[in-house]
């Protein structure tokens, strides 16, 4: 289960042969950890902020919802 919440990048579990594409919950997780992942991706080229092997609208919606949740929680 912990591997299903991995970060995006060239070594992602979604790049393995016969792997499923990233779905809504993965997009939500990647959106939630975006600030941390972005900082790490500046120094490590193996980390990305967005999973390219995704199922489309579901992943994108989860990613945007995660971003909105992250930045909305920082407002007072």
Measured distance CA(76)–CA(43) in Å, rounded: 31
pLDDT on residue 75: 61
Measured distance CA(29)–CA(46) in Å, rounded: 18
pLDDT on residue 11: 75
pLDDT on residue 71: 83
pLDDT on residue 72: 81
- Alpha helices of 1-76 — where are they, by DSSP H? 24-32, 34-41, 57-72
Low-confidence ranges of the chain (pLDDT < 50): 1-2
* Cα three-residue angle 74-7-36, rounded to 5 degrees: 30
pLDDT on residue 3: 55
Measured distance CA(26)–CA(6) in Å, rounded: 8
Map out the domains of the chain as residue ranges: 20-72
SS3 48: strand
Q: What is the pTM for the complete model shown?
A: 0.83
pLDDT on residue 76: 57
């Amino acid at each position: 289960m912990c591997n299903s919440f991995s970060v995006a990048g060239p070594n992602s579990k979604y790049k393995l042969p016969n792997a499923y594409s990233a779905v809504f919950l993965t997009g939500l997780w990647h959106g939630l950890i975006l600030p941390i992942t972005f900082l790490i991706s500046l120094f490590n080229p193996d980390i990305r902020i967005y999973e390219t092997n995704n199922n489309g609208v579901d992943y994108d919606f989860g990613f945007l919802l995660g971003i909105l949740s992250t930045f909305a929680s920082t407002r007072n």
